[in-house]
């Protein structure tokens, strides 16, 4: 499954119709979730939620305007959250199990195989439901003429800070045969260096957010100055200037996010092309960002994004990617195996037992590679099961990115 994204061009009336379709999809998703909450004793499954969509369409006129398969797709989103909650309960994960929550700020609507039609040139798409979206032009560098229409399983309309986009989920085998490099590498993810391998090579952390923080703060202050709290109390809409400032602020954040994604993608591709086996830490990023002293730096590093792209390229080019537990990888000596306690401020590993001296991150990368080699063929190549994070499920996420999970709690 690959995802092609195009920016769509239309009139303001069409953009408002897309917003209406997004709100309707959110309404149906929340109603399906409420139906599950009210009928837990009846063992509601995903098929019951799909049937409930027809009931909502008969009762609510604006729900009937949305394509039937788009309504089913909204119900599938609700069931995805419910099934994830059930799985976490069965696995007895510590802490919160991720009880499904109602959506407040949905940004996309997803169509399946009906409700849309591509032109003969594949540069124009027309939506035929009653929302009035109509015909939209597709702006992008991808060419959909290489694929049959039957291969397009999902079409999503997505709203971002800089406009509206259309995403096409195309069912195709992405695997490519490549020549073996006869190399293997262990990777340690860090804050000082983005990655450090067992050979001593390091990649500097770009810190895109830190570099843009002054501009972001300035844009946020301008937005805050135009916000009127009195209007919120009286439930009046904010001024046009406020919404313009809010959109400028959002576009700056979107630019930083895209920079981070492209950087992680480039580094992951380079690592996969240079090695046949890649071992990396199975970090629980969701728990790590709870540290208020390091949360901003960890989020700026983009570890989860890098891992998702690393697993994707590993699957695409037939390379082995191994996620290993991160316990004591920085503390243990990679030469003699003895534990050497170090604080985060200690950046050089000096072993008092064998005299081995090495950079802290490089020492950890050597330990990670050793753990990865010891688990290959026994625990599998992926930390989350038989498939990597990006390949689980056919639907896309509401954020518009490929499907990604957080590492399980250790």
Q: How far is it, in rounded angstroms, from Cα 142 to Cα 202?
A: 34
- Provide DSSP, 129-146: STT--EEEEEESS--GGG
The domains of the chain, with CATH numbers, are 2-170 (no CATH), 184-206+262-391 (3.30.420)
Q: Which residues of the chain have pLDDT under 50?
A: 379-410
Spatial contact of 57 and 32, defined as CB atoms under 8 Å apart: no
The whole-number pLDDT of residue 378 equals 52
Q: How far is it, in rounded angstroms, from Cα 210 to Cα 297?
A: 8
Q: How far is CA 256 from CA 212, 219, 238, 261, 278, in A?
A: 8, 14, 26, 9, 27
Phi, psi of 195 (to 5 degrees): -140, 150
The whole-number pLDDT of residue 377 equals 57
Q: How many CB atoms lie within 10 A of CB 211?
A: 12
The whole-number pLDDT of residue 363 equals 85
Q: How far is it, in rounded angstroms, from Cα 248 to Cα 161?
A: 8
The whole-number pLDDT of residue 410 equals 29
Q: How far is it, in rounded angstroms, from Cα 127 to Cα 12?
A: 16
Spatial contact of 298 and 283, defined as CB atoms under 8 Å apart: no
Q: How far is it, in rounded angstroms, from Cα 232 to Cα 246?
A: 16
- The SS3 assignment for 210 reads helix
> What does DSSP say about strands 184-189 and 277-281: parallel, antiparallel, or unpaired?
parallel
> What does DSSP say about strands 320-324 and 277-281: parallel, antiparallel, or unpaired?
parallel
Q: How far is CA 274 from CA 178, 179, 195, 202, in A?
A: 11, 10, 15, 15
The whole-number pLDDT of residue 376 equals 67
Q: How far is it, in rounded angstroms, from Cα 75 to Cα 27?
A: 10
Q: How many residues does the chain have?
A: 410
Single pTM value for the model = 0.82
The whole-number pLDDT of residue 108 equals 92
The whole-number pLDDT of residue 175 equals 86
Q: How many CB atoms lie within 10 A of CB 101?
A: 9
């Amino acid at each position: 499954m690959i995802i092609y994204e195009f920016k769509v061009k239309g009139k303001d009336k069409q953009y408002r119709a897309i917003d209406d379709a997004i709100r309707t999809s959110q309404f149906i998703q929340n109603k399906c979730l409420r139906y599950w909450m009210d009928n837990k004793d009846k063992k509601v499954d995903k098929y019951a939620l799909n049937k409930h969509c027809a009931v909502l369409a008969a009762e609510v006129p604006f729900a009937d305007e949305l394509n039937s398969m788009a309504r089913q797709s909204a119900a599938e989103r609700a069931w995805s959250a419910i099934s994830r909650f059930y799985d976490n309960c069965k696995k007895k994960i510590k802490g919160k199990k991720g009880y499904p929550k109602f959506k407040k700020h949905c940004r996309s609507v997803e169509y399946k195989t009906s409700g849309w039609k591509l032109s003969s040139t594949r540069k124009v798409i027309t939506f035929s439901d009653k929302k009035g979206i109509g015909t939209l032009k597709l702006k992008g560098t991808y060419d959909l003429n290489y694929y049959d229409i039957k291969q397009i399983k999902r079409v999503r309309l997505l709203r971002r800070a800089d406009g509206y986009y259309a995403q096409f989920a195309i069912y195709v085998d992405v695997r490519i045969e490549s020549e073996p490099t006869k190399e293997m590498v262990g990777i340690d993810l860090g804050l000082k260096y983005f990655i450090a391998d067992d050979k001593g090579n390091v990649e500097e952390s770009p810190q895109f957010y830190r570099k843009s923080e002054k501009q972001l703060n300035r844009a946020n202050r301008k937005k805050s100055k135009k916000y009127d709290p009195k209007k919120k109390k009286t439930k009046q809409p904010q001024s046009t200037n406020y919404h313009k400032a809010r959109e400028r602020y959002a576009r700056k954040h979107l630019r930083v996010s895209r920079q981070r994604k492209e950087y992680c993608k480039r580094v992951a591709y380079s690592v996969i092309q240079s090695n046949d086996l890649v071992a990396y830490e199975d970090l629980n990023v969701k728990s790590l960002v709870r540290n208020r002293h390091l949360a901003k730096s960890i989020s700026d590093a983009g570890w989860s994004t890098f891992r998702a792209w690393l697993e994707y390229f590993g699957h695409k080019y037939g390379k082995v990617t191994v996620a290993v537990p991160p316990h004591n990888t920085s503390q243990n000596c990679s030469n003699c195996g003895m534990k050497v306690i170090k604080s985060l401020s200690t950046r050089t590993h000096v072993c008092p037992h064998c005299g081995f001296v090495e950079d802290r991150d490089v020492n950890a990368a050597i330990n990670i590679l050793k753990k990865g080699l010891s688990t290959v063929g026994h625990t599998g190549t992926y930390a989350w099961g038989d498939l990597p994070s990006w390949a689980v499920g056919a639907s896309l996420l509401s954020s518009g990115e490929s499907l990604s999970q957080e590492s399980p709690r250790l």
